Amino acid sequence: MTTTRLDTRFAETRAEGRAALVTFVMAGDPDHTTSLAIVKSLPGAGADVIELGMPFTDPMADGPAIQAAGLRALKSGETLTKTLHLVATFREEDQTTPVVLMGYYNPIYIYGVDRFLTDAKKAGVDGLIIVDLPPEEDDELCLPAMKAGINFIRLATPTTDDKRLPTVLRNTSGFVYYVSITGITGSATPDFSVVGQAVTRIKARTDLPVAVGFGVKTAEHARALAANADGVVVGSALIDAIRKSLDAEGKATEQTVSAVVALVSELASGVRGARVAAE
């Protein structure tokens, strides 16, 4: 593969001596227009990489917060076609911030793999995280995505032992996403010392950046993980900020976008302060 936006962005943050802040929000939550405004606001607030959830009716790896966000998005009429349009609209103003789509294979399969990859590349998608496609199924989407110039990012978990790790890493590109806890998103706070050891173990096997996610809720969490990882992923905390800003009917308010911006700014300060504190 040629150099991608993800490669460039992680090289930039590495040169700055810090981890990247990777922010996850659900496409279409709480509605398409507000979701686009949120995504557009993320880079200015300090996000280095944007993960955009693809709403799905059976999100088995997601905790209650992200499940609810997906349901809000589906209720508002979000589709995979609209999500790709959201990325394309974002790209009209931002040509440098990497955008990664995260979700499940079923919507892509129904859309059609070849058509999806063509449309995703045209829209400006840089990477995919598909949580229910193991390495044994790389022919389904991973290899075609890489051929299309889209990074395929694999998850490693606390149960990924040294025997399994090479298989996980084999066709991974962009970065490795280390899931810091066993379980669903947003379910617990990680043990930072244990995560640091795991990141070191993965880095010994690959030159790819390693980003850590699941359970990151505060700037202090982000700062602790950024001391060892190349990236820190925050999702459920941002989804919670959106939820708390909604009115009694679950609709966006004037505070919705600003609530996300405020939290991302705090998290960015945590990530950016980690390496300074370590020096």
Q: Kindly state the helix (H) or strand (E) to which residue 57 belongs, with its residue range.
A: none
What does the alpha-carbon distance between residue 233 and residue 77 come to, in Å, rounded to a whole number? 27
**What are the Cα distances from residue 124, in Å, to 29, 127, 209?**
20, 9, 21
Can you read off the two tokens belonging to residue 70?
């997906």
Q: Where are the alpha helices (DSSP H) in 52-96?
A: 64-75, 80-91
Catalytic residue annotation: 51, 62
- Fold classification of 19-278 is TIM Barrel (3.20.20)
Q: What is the CA radius of gyration of the chain?
A: 17
Q: Measure the CA angle with vertex 131, ends 20 and 2; round to 5°.
A: 55
Q: Smallest Cα–Cα separation from 26: which of 110, 84, 83?
A: 83
pLDDT in tens, the chain (279 residues): 789 999 999 999 999 999 999 999 999 999 999 999 999 999 999 999 999 999 999 887 788 889 999 999 999 999 999 999 999 999 999 999 999 999 999 999 999 999 999 999 999 999 999 999 999 999 999 999 999 999 999 999 988 999 999 999 999 999 999 998 765 554 556 677 788 899 999 999 999 999 998 878 888 989 999 989 999 999 999 999 999 999 999 999 999 999 999 999 999 999 998 654 444
The alpha carbon torsion through 31, 74, 129, 93 (nearest 10 deg) reads -20
What does the alpha-carbon distance between residue 176 and residue 208 come to, in Å, rounded to a whole number? 7
127 three-class SS: strand
What is the residue extent of each domain of the chain? 19-278
**What are the Cα distances from residue 104, in Å, to 95, 109, 128?**
26, 9, 10
